[in-house]
Structure 1
Amino acid sequence: MRKRARLCALCCPRASSRRIRHRSTDGGNVANVRSVFRFAQKQTQGDLPLPYTGAKLNSVLIVSGSERSRETLAEVFASSRYAPVITRGSAAEARRLVLDTPFSLVFINTPLPDEPGAQLALDLSSSRNCCVALIVPGDSYDQVNEQVEDEGVLTLSKPCTAQQLRQAAAIMSATRFKLADLEKKTATLEEKMEEIRLVNRAKWMLIERRGMDETTAHRYIEKLAMDARQTRRLVAQTLIRSLDND
């Protein structure tokens, strides 16, 4: 039983440290253990940022008709991971703001003074590169979730704890960065496909109008790009315009 008590003291902050102090040869061990537990408890409660490097910042927009709710939600995201954290009191104010200011994460505490809030969530989710969460009363959760889920809006049921909100924000952030990475790769692929189409068009125009064979036309475009230190896409566009004017 004594061995179990010593092990428990290493994993449970409530365990007595008397036996550790009795057997320890270093008087600072107990204080070190307690310090670790205090740090871990603060992390869980959100008082300290999680200790990892390279975290990407998320800007947060909080929309709520209640000033007290806005202040409470803003405090939940008062850490180095979220900046800036902006609050607005209505859907109209939020819509005006996002016209010029992009946000990573949006939390909408429903209902809003000028509308229920679900339509705002749908509009922001479909037109902006952001992740949106709706905080709704428990009795309307199923109805609202069915309305917005297919559009990628996360629905949270009241009451929400600070930990639940931070966990939701972490999921939304991971989803957003993953989608942004996929969009970037898709855009790169589309640009590459467009370059191939332009080069092929320029190549076949050289074959038809300059009497080159396919290999010669391909080498001609490659040499022009290398000599001019330009991309094949730009060279192909220039060739197409030039051959069209002949």
Structure 2
Amino acid sequence: MFGATVIIASADSNFRQMVKSAVKNLDYIVVGECADGPTALKMARNFQPDMFIIDDHLIGVPGREIAKILSFDRQCAVVLAMEFEIDKLDEFLGEMGVVGVVIKPLEEEQLIMTVQVTEHNYQRIKELEKEIESLKDALETRKLVEKAKGILMESLGISEKEAFRKIQKQSMDKRISMRAVAEAIILAYDVNQKK
């Protein structure tokens, strides 16, 4: 991803230098480096990078904890560099959310591939989350329109088709969404019921 921003977090300056060199080959822009967990979180919130590459060995807080927070907050794509621990792998994967993992000692090609795959997966997940929100919104709108149609059918003694057309016409005439019209009908009905 050309021009993407990245923050590198590691207590090891050699690790940070190696990662910086690798991501420059991907045309990433390193906007920050740090050695400890609390600073890593502050930098993530202040700089809002596209990618965060974290060594598990940080001062103060393990990198995996920072990776977990960033992953669940969906702040950015996250790659975690760690030693391979087969006995903890299932527990680790269950807790991590969406994080690319690269095993230490790092090899530049492995890191570059992991960064690219993680960025792709992160973008895909963000797209899917937007689609889910859109579908939820459409479903909620449909429910409200159905409820408003029912109110109009009952109170005006009209057919479902006529009720829908009334909502649709009101929406077009006032240049507001059908959802807003439906909400207004429901609100007016509720107010009248309380009188």
Q: Structure with the greater relative contact order (CA < 8 A, sep ≥ 6): 1 or 2?
A: 2
Alignment match of 1:146 (pick from 90, 100, 107) = 90
Gaps of 5+ in 1: 1-54
TM-score, length-scaled by structure 1: 0.69
CA separation of 1:173 and 1:239: change in aligned 2, threshold 3 A: same
Distance of aligned partners of 1:162 and 1:183 in 2 relative to their CA distance in 1, 3 Å threshold:
same
Using the TM superposition, give the Cα deviation of residue 112 of structure 1 relative to its aligned residue in structure 2, in angstroms: 1.1
Q: Which residue of 2 aligns with 1:227?
A: 173
| Residue 133 of structure 2: aligned partner | 187
Aligned counterparts of 1:176 and 1:57: Cα–Cα separation in 2:
16
Which one has the largest radius of gyration?
1
| Aligned residue type for 2:150 | W
Partner of residue 61 from structure 2, selected from 115, 139, 145: 115
Match of 1:106 among 30, 52, 55: 52
Secondary structure of the residue aligned to 1:156 is strand
Aligned residue number for residue 200 of structure 1: 146
Gaps of 5+ in 2: none
Q: 2: CA distance between counterparts of 1:64 and 1:239?
A: 57
Question: Which deviations, in whole Å up to 9, do the C-alpha atoms of 1:86-113 show, x marking residues without a partner?
Answer: 2221111011222344333221113112
On the 8 A contact 2:31/2:47 being kept in 1, the answer is no
Give the aligned partner of residue 34 of structure 1: none
Letter in 2 for 1:215: K
The alpha carbon displacement at 1:245 in A equals 2.5
Indicate which of 225, 236, 239 corresponds to 2:182.
236
Identity over aligned residues, as a percent?
Answer: 25
Question: Per the alignment, in what secondary structure is the counterpart of residue 72 of structure 2?
Answer: helix
Kindly indicate whether the alpha-carbon contact (under 8 Å) linking 2:79 and 2:100 is maintained by their aligned counterparts in 1: yes
Deviations along 1:90-148, one digit per CA (max 9) or x if unpaired, are 111011222344333221113112133222222221122433222123xx432454333
C-alpha displacement at 1:80, in angstroms?
Answer: 6.2
Q: 1:64 to 1:158 in 2, by over 3 A?
A: same
SS at match of 1:113: coil
The answer to whether the 8 Å contact 1:74/1:85 transfers is no
User: Following the alignment from structure 1 to structure 2, what is the Cα–Cα distance between the partners of residues 62 and 155?
Assistant: 14
Residue 64 of structure 1, CA deviation: 0.5
